[in-house]
């Protein structure tokens, strides 16, 4: 077969395929109802919402919320067993919340002081040197301890580098801790 004849046949085949694909699309008379916007996903405004004036933005009226009946039960009314169950449930809930936290960070604890002024002095010195430091008070057995920490850093390697820098510049042995 001649080369020119082959090229004409391939060209004709390509044109036929394109016509089979695009002519039905072009000549289709139906409308795409799926693409039309028929409503809104914004919920309707509740009846008891405050109305706002147009001029000054002041609230004209506010419907007072209807109080829900609450069973008045204090901790003293609870039995000891109920109190323990409540405490255990709260601890389990806190543990579940901590377990769900995916992002954790690292801090370097550089000091723990019984005197708040000493903690503030170290914190001030660290901040002057360019570190992001903070004081975290801890109340235990009726006594408050003030922990001076640097960070947080997302990467452990960054926290370790900061700890090494603290050791060099301030001669302080920092403790690397997960935060919070």
d(CA 48, CA 51): 9
Q: What are the residues whose beta carbons fall under 8 Å from the beta carbon of 155, sequence distance 6 or more?
A: 106
* Residue 124 in this model has a pLDDT that exceeds 80: yes
Domain of 124: which CATH number?
3.30.70.1070
Residue 122 placed within a domain: yes
User: Distance between CA atoms of 178 and 108, rounded to whole angstroms?
Assistant: 9
- Joined together, the tokens standing for residue 22 give 């695009």
Q: Which pTM was predicted?
A: 0.44
Q: What mean pLDDT is reported for the chain? A: 76
Residue numbers of the domain that contains 131: 105-179
Tens of pLDDT along 41-84? 666 666 665 555 444 444 444 444 545 554 545 555 556 666 66
> Which runs of consecutive H residues, i.e. helices, occur in 129-155?
none
Structural domain includes residue 175: yes
* Domain contains 110: yes
- Give me the number of domains the chain comprises: 1
Round the CA-based radius of gyration of the chain to a whole number and report it: 35
User: CA–CA separation, 129 vs 122, rounded Å?
Assistant: 11
Read off the tokens for 135: 């004081």
């Amino acid at each position: 077969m001649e080369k020119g004849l082959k090229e004409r046949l391939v060209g004709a085949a390509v044109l036929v395929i394109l016509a089979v694909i695009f002519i039905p699309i072009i000549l289709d008379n139906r409308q795409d109802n799926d693409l039309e916007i028929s409503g809104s996903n914004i919920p309707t405004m509740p009846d008891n919402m405050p109305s706002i004036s147009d001029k000054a933005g002041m609230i004209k009226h506010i419907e007072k919320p209807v109080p829900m009946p609450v069973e008045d039960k204090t901790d003293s009314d609870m039995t000891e067993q109920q109190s323990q169950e409540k405490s255990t449930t709260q601890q389990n809930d806190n543990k579940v919340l901590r377990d769900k936290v995916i992002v954790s960070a690292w801090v370097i604890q550089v000091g723990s002081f019984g005197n708040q002024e000493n903690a503030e002095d170290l914190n001030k010195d660290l901040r002057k040197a360019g570190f992001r430091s903070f004081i975290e008070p801890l109340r235990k057995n009726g006594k408050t301890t003030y922990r001076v920490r640097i960070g947080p850093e997302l990467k452990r390697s960054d926290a370790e580098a900061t700890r090494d820098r603290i050791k060099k510049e301030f001669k302080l042995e920092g403790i690397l801790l997960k935060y919070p």
